[in-house]
Structure 1
Amino acid sequence: MLSLKRLLDRSLTAQATLAFLLVLGITALIRKGEHPAVWVFQSALYTGVAVVVLAVQRRRAARAAGTDAGGLAELNRKIRHHEVPQASEEQAVMRRLVAEQLGQMERAGKWLPYWLGAMGLVTVGMLVLGAFTGSLAFPLLFTVGTVALCSWVLWMRPRSLDRLRRMRQALRQE
């Protein structure tokens, strides 16, 4: 399990493969009456868009920190495990990465209530449309997914902020 987690942490290809398979399964469940080629095409399209967005984010974060994608994954692992690097140049890279991530999270925090409100409105709209059309299966599935995503964001955000602030404090002490 640990090797799978490390593989998914480091490899964009492994993440893309897993995402493609998950999206393919969900698409097959939702669109049972369509040809399987449509499932594959939609899954490939959605996965491609997600991979491009993720690659751009990783590249920007690696450039801001002054390291490559592998180094970025290793530094993020050290942040999660509260490990302060021993080498001074690695500490400098870690400081830049922590400052970048904290800045992003604090800027995103200003928009979080609006984002959650928009997700709630979309979810209510989907439920209303499902009630009018008589098909509540997809709207209920969407609602459960949206509630799970929003709950996960609200649960992880304080933990991530605390982890980054503690790492910033530990790097200042070094």
Structure 2
Amino acid sequence: MLSLKRLLDRSPTAQATLVFLLGLGVTALFRRDEHPAVWVFQSALYTGIAIAVLAVQRRRIARAVGTDAGGLADLNRKIRHHEVPQDPEERAAMRRLAAEQLGQMERAGKWLPYWLGAMGLVVVGMFVLGAVSGSLVFPLLFAVGMVALCSWVLWMRRRSLDRLHGMRQALRQE
């Protein structure tokens, strides 16, 4: 499991393969009546868009931090494992990475209440559609899934902020 996690952390090809397979499965699940070639085409399109966005973000952050993609993956792993680097250059890169990610999360946090409100409106809309159609089973399952997703996003955000603040504090102390 650890090697798979490291492979997905470092390899854009492994990430693209995973996104393609997940996209293919979801597309096949929701579009059973269409030809499998359509599933493959749509999954390839989704994969291309996702990998392009990730590559642009990774390149921008790596440029801001002053390292390459492999070094960026190592720095992110060290943040996750609470490892403070000893090398002065690596410490400076870690400091820039923590500042960049904290700034990005704070900017995104301004939109978080609106995002959560939109998710709430979608859930309410699903309940209204369910009440009109006479079945509340799917809207109830959807609401539970949406609450779980939003709770997970908030938990991961809090955890990431704690890690980044902890790393920034550790880099200041030494």
Q: CA RMSD in A?
A: 2.1
Give the aligned partner of residue 159 of structure 1: 159
Q: Which runs of 5+ in 2 are unaligned?
A: none
Q: Superposed, which structure 2 residues align to 1:1-174 within 5 Å?
A: 1-129=1-129, 143=143, 145-174=145-174
Distance 1:122 1:128 in 2: 10
**Structure 1 residues 23 and 138 mapped into 2: Cα distance closer, same or farther (>3 Å)?**
farther
1:39-82 Cα shifts (integer Å, max 9, x gaps): 11111111111111111111111111111111000000000000
Distance 2:92 2:107 in 1: 23
SS of match in other structure, 2:111: helix
**Structure 1 residues 131 and 19 mapped into 2: Cα distance closer, same or farther (>3 Å)?**
farther
TM-score between both structures, scaled by the size of structure 1: 0.89
Q: How many residues align?
A: 174
1:78-131 Cα shifts (integer Å, max 9, x gaps): 000000111000000000000001111112112111011112223433454466
Identity of aligned residues (%): 84
**Structure 1 residues 143 and 47 mapped into 2: Cα distance closer, same or farther (>3 Å)?**
farther
Contact 1:30–1:138 at 8 Å: present in 2 too? no
TM-score between both structures, scaled by the size of structure 2: 0.89
